[in-house]
Each structure stands twice: as C-alpha cells, then as structure tokens.
Amino acid sequence: MYIDSGADISIVSRSFGELFGHNVAKGKKIKLKGVSGEHIIAYVHKMRMLIGKHEIQVEVAIADVEEIPNILGRKEVFNSFEIQFKNLKKCTCFLRK
C-alpha cells in the first residue's frame, strides 16, 4: 500500500476488499474525491490490519472499481503509530506509540 498523509481514510480496490472476504456493497456507501477531482464510490468496512507485529482495527473504504491504488490513509493508522520516512535508507518505519 502507498502511505498518503493527505488521505483521510485508507482505500483499497474492489478485488482487494473481496480477497479479504468483504461483501463490498454491504458497507456504508460514501463518495470520495481524489487529487484528480474525480469522484469514486466506495463502501466503508472495518478491517483488522497488521503493521509489523501490531494488529489494529481500522475503517477502510473499498472502492467500487479496480483502477485505484491501495492507499494507507490517516484515520486510525496515524494515531496509532509514529511514521518515519527514511528516504536515504529507502525505508518507512512504523513506531508504536
């Protein structure tokens, strides 16, 4: 997943959500607007996410389309970790608070 500090909520493609057993349309329907200005229909679901050895429960928007990158947004993730981007070492560190 791409880490996007500008994204309010994490979003994944429809097939990614289905891969983890979610019936996409059973989530709360929302309309998101991306950087391009294009609107995307998505459905919000609760998911368990494993980051390193830490498991957290997050809300994830599952897009109704495939043509979208999987993005790790701020909601619940950025409050749970200190995130360090170490460009010279080409790594990203998630430190548990």
pLDDT for 5-33, tens place per residue?
989 999 999 999 999 899 999 999 999 98
Contact 11, 76 (CB under 8 A): no
pLDDT for 53-70, tens place per residue?
999 999 999 999 898 899
Phi/psi region, residue 76 (left: phi>0; alpha: psi -120 to 50; beta: rest), is: left
Which pLDDT value is given to residue 90?
92
What phi and psi, each to the nearest 5 degrees, are found at residue 77?
Answer: -80, -50
Q: Which residues fall within 8 angstroms of residue 78, CB to CB, at 6 or more apart? A: 5
Task: Please give the model's pTM, rounded to 2 decimal places.
Answer: 0.87
